[in-house]
Chain A
Amino acid sequence: MKKRVICSVLVAVMLLSMSALPISAGTTDFNDVFGHWAQADIMTLVDKGIISGYPDGTFQPDKSVTRAEFIKILAAALQLPQAAPAGVSPFSDVAMTDWFFEPVMEGVQNNLIGGFPDGTFLPNDPITREQVAKILVRAKGIDETSTVLMSQSQEIISKIPDWSQVSEWAQLFVINAIAADLMKGDPSGNFRPLASLTRAETAVIGVRMMVATPTPTPTAPPVTGGAFIFGRGADCVKLDPADVTDGESARGTVQIYDTLVQFKGETTIVEPALATSWEVSTDNLTWTFHLRQGVKFHDGADFNADAVLFNFERWWDESNAYHVGTFEYFSSMFNGFKGTEGCTFTKMEKVSDSAVRFTLAQPYAPLLSTLAMFCFAIASPTAIKAQGPENYGTSTQYPGVGTGAFKVVEWTKDDKLVLDRNPDYWGYKANVDQVILRVIPDNAARYLALKAGEIQGMEGANPEDAKAAAADPTLQVLLRPPMNVGTVLFKVDAPPFDNVNVRKALAMAINKQPIVDAFYGATGLVANQFLPPSLWGYNKELKDYAYDPVAAKQMLADAGYTDANPLTIDFWYMPNPRPYFPDPKAIAEAIAADLSKIGVVVNLKTEDWSTYLDDRKNGKFGLWMLGWTGDNGDPDNFLFFHYGVPRAGEGNYNNPALIKILLDAQKEVDQAKRDLLYQQAAVLIHDDCPRIFIGHNQVPLLFSTKVSGYVPNPTGTEFFNTVSIAP
């Protein structure tokens, strides 16, 4: 470990000395943006000079935006062509000398925006969300009258409680804006068509339009052919997604397999995949999935209801002849196997060749999000039978066989997994002919391989390499939207941390912002609750414990810990980086330094990772670092997993009121109500302070500039069929 650190530093020094360019980071720091849910997008637009703050150092993210301001920002984000010179202003209230004349003309000439029948433009009126929907749909070149199917519109409308408020002229635009994922409702589903757009919302839209509109050649077809070679730290364990839990296996299997439903693009929104549609009974207990027709597995077998049931029964039923393995994700997400008390499913049946029906023991709101996880992928029954369940997916000889965009050609363990394009794929057929997942265990060596052109993309860069890559003209850095949280946990049922004030004192003593700035690269966010801000259920109103070492020291003194009788603790940190703690040792040292300022005597300790997990599970630690990476974008996956059942591994934190809320939220199918329940939960957790939330990390992905079309997803499972490699 020490060697690795020294080497990384040396290489970093060397690389930096070769290309000593400064890194473009957000140089403008607004005092009202940090921790804001739209912080990342605001900073992106600020860095690009598309949007700016106010002279007093504020950004005022919640202030509304006028029509003139919006079109100026959008014109810059879209890089609209310059307006043809006009001799006279078409609007009575827009003068040629106005600062917004140019962008308004650009918007008009590109048919994005028009005036009102009375010849006015009303530039200083706040822009409404339904007006924005129209502009965005036009900007994307969507024909609002034909793109959305009738059934889909009905579905969209049914999810908007305030649909009646949408003006008639705007209805088609609103539907299309939602269908194309250009706009979303608020957490309760309301679209608020007449509300004005805030500056923060504008920033999010600006970034989305910027990303979604490739410039300068928007109509260029993706480059096809070639091999996309991606470097990673470890190999797939197995090519059988149902029986693995690690991210590297997932990265391989999502290319090979499909799930019934899947996460869309860079979001955790669930969209159809092998199931084209689904229905839920009114009691929320019976789910019927209609399956895609004409799909074939890589081995030529038909995909149908029998195939789906074969897989589900293999996972679910321990007595099934093909249930060979641990099937950990099934049992942990659905609370055990067939016949276990509390298991989510009670019945799985075939309705027809193209439909299956699942009956649940009780309503389970996260069902769709869970079924979109990589592990619930449908494998070819004929392949599993032919290979034998104990061999399935373990080697080139026994490859994984799914319906996905790529099929297995060769797998040399700990070296490379070679996948070929599936020319018969039901979905978007891959741009590249081949995907090669290379194992390069050392982070520094992997970065050098990227620089040497041996690979074209990688994950798991050392923070200093990610910075160097940002300054390297041949490389590009993409950030995965955060769905993780790094935390410090207390054992709350034993001294000294059974005293809530001691816990709060420690929370107030840690200065999170400098820690996040220093060790999460330019991309981390300070955390004040379990959920990352990108997730629904996030409580925007929650105020974090303010950094106040003086008050913290006083609270410790009140609890009986003074300089003469200091609080002495062992503080455990993990030996290896995790997605939520890019550099655990350095972060632990920084936290320890903050704690020592209020008089706490901290002994830093670590041990081998497996031992660490074991000791944490058995409740050996009093104060320790651990975090979480979400699986499916549902708050239940963050909160219920940790606090649904009191455990030694969670410091024996036990709040019956919290547990009740989490159980209710699991059964409640109305997302707006669930959203509120999780926001309440965040407050209870905050008040009890069983953990100190440190940061959310946006994991950097490094690519050669030849790579395009890679879409990072918060779950970390990304489809490579959209990737192109320039020659």
Chain B
Amino acid sequence: MLTYIVRRLLAMVPVLIGVSIIVFLFIHMIPGDPAVAILGERATPESVARMRTELGLDKPIWEQYFIYIGNIFQGDWGRSIRSNTPIIDEIRVKFPATAELAIAAMIIALLIGLPAGIISAARRNSLFDSTAMFVALIGVSMPVFWLGLMLAFLFSVALGWLPFSGRLDSTLVLQTKTGFMVWDALMTANWNALGNSFAHLILPAVTLSTIPMAIIARMTRSSLLEELGQDYVRTAKAMGFNERRVLLGHAMKNASLPVVTTIGLQVGALLSGAILTETIFSWPGIGRWIFSAIQARDYPIVQGAALLITLVFMAVNLLVDISYAFLDPRIRYH
């Protein structure tokens, strides 16, 4: 098992190098560069040339790449072209913001999606089943942007129950250590900030949870149905085990492999795909950061963030693969 994990970790290195090359090439291939993006209407050939020199963009592209990758290996992620802030400092703040949101969304998605899928499978073709699957269909196809604005309008503007912009009230101060607001507030026993950051988390997390929730519910239902049709289920039932035990104890355990795979993929998608939710709810996370960096052609940010997301994706996949071994004793890694 351990050798397997080490092998997988080592295999990440060439993938990361490959990703860095591809991202580097792509971002440099798009027309427009940071100088043009910074200068806006005042971009003239002279001012752009002057600024490119100041920013070090006049070097050959391969040279820029080797400087970049060399620094990465020394633990230096570089600095933003526009703001000159070290990338690693921004990642320390923005990654926890997105992670907190994604974790909250995933908890909601699991708490609702899993039971809904199981009940739908158990009561196939019942009213609950068709309603749940219809709602799930809406969940997948509802535009996140629209849903977010509607929730914001209803719960913040019309009812005034929940805040919707940012992670904390503007005037509240919380010294963050980990970057996870809820966690930091809990650890410092700052109950006011805890309640406030939790309230700020609700609307964006609910918005972000809709798509994974719907996918998990449908996936759980279909893989459970498949298992329920297997011989061992019939045998178990024939042997007189009660329904619930057959369903949850036997069938669900076997059905969980594809479900876990789906969850793993969704975690990756949540981390990188939270951009719309982060935009509506003014959440200072990684998605918005990358998006504005692409618009501004802030190469080091785009590269750094792409590497980070690749890392997270691969780590989650590794965890999913390892979990297989626990869920299915037939799977052994060597």
**A interface residues (Cβ-Cβ under 8 A, vs B):** 3-4, 6-7, 10-11, 14, 227, 229, 231, 234, 237-238, 245-246, 325-326, 328, 331-332, 390-391, 394-395, 410, 412-416, 418, 434, 436, 438-442, 444-445, 448-449, 451-452, 454-455, 608-615, 617, 626-629, 641, 645, 647-649
Contact = CB atoms under 8 A, between A and B. Distances in A.
Nearest to A326: B54
Given A414-B94, A414-B289, 4 more contacts: A246-B40, A390-B79, A442-B280, A611-B30
B297 interface: yes
Given A238-B83, A413-B93, A438 B282 contact: yes
A337 to B, nearest CB: 9
Interface string B82-111: 111100011001100000000000000000
Contacts, number: 180
Interface of chain A, main secondary structure = mixed
Task: Select the residue from B37, B84, B89 with max chain A CB neighbours within 10 A.
Answer: B84
Interface string B143-185: 1011011001100110010011111001101000000000000
A509 to B, nearest CB: 26
B295 interface: yes
**Residue among B94, B149, B156 facing the most chain A CB atoms (10 A cut-off):** B149
Contacts of A326: 38, 50-51, 54-55
Interface stretch (B41-49, B221-229, B320-328): B41-49
A245 B282 contact: no
B39 interface: yes
A415 B31 contact: no
B305 to A, nearest CB: 13
Contact of A613 (B36, B84, B279, B284): B36
Contacts of A641: 42
Nearest to A617: B43
B255 to A, nearest CB: 35
A394 B51 contact: no
B152 A415 contact: no
B164 A7 contact: no
A542 B210 CA distance: 59
A394 B55 contact: no
B261 to A, nearest CB: 29
Closest A-B pairs by Cβ, 10 of them? A610-B32, A415-B284, A414-B284, A614-B32, A452-B156, A440-B282, A611-B32, A326-B54, A610-B37, A611-B31
Contact of B33 (A440, A441, A610): A610
A473 to B, nearest CB: 15
17 contacts: A4-B145, A6-B143, A11-B153, A245-B42, A326-B55, A328-B38, A332-B47, A390-B84, A415-B166, A442-B280, A445-B279, A445-B281, A448-B152, A608-B32, A610-B30, A613-B43, A645-B44
A416 B170 contact: yes
B292 interface: yes
A391 B51 CA distance: 19
Most buried by B among A4, A436, A444, A445: A445
B288 interface: yes
A677 to B, nearest CB: 23
A615 B43 CA distance: 11
B171 A439 contact: no
B165 A449 contact: yes
A636 B47 CA distance: 18
B314 interface: no
A394 B85 contact: yes
Contacts of B171: 227, 229, 434, 436
B170 A328 contact: no
